[in-house]
Amino acid sequence: MDSDALHVSEVGIARAIVAAVRSVPGVADVSPGRFAEAATYGPGERVRGVAVSRSAGALDIEVHLCALHADSLVLPELAARVRSAVRQSVEALGAGAVRRIDVAFEDLRVEGGMSG
């Protein structure tokens, strides 16, 4: 599987992660980052909101997102669901081992209102 992992680009991995994260209940969308752009770059393409890098044969992943406000919102639980979705997405691609998945909450969106 590790030799196959070399054939999946970081941009391809990032695109799959964005789709997986957007499907997690409680996530409004990915965020490009608040102070510095969080993105994965490839030839002629940039995937905002997810930074994917390889180190020592494993993937390090940063996901920046905006959460949906709800009375029942517990950010550590949402982060765990996002990490699970990211890990499943990467495994489905056969993209290799994941060393780290960091989740950063950049904003909170209130339905029918403005985010802040």
Average pLDDT for the chain: 90
**Other residues' Cβ atoms within 10 Å of the Cβ of residue 69:** 13
Strands of the chain (E only): list them.
Answer: 27-30, 39-42, 45-48, 50-55, 58-68, 98-109
54-110 pLDDT, tens digit per residue, is 988 899 999 999 999 999 999 999 999 999 999 999 999 999 999 999 999 999 999
Task: Evaluate if residue 38 carries a pLDDT over 60.
Answer: yes
Going along the chain from its start, the domains and CATH numbers come out as 2-107 (3.30.70.1350)
Terminal alpha carbon distance of the chain: 43
Q: From CA 107, how far away is CA 66, in angstroms rounded?
A: 5
**Comparing 1-5, 11-15, 61-65, 67-71, which segment has the lowest mean pLDDT?**
1-5
Q: From CA 105, how far away is CA 67, in angstroms rounded?
A: 7
* DSSP-assigned letter for residue 76: H
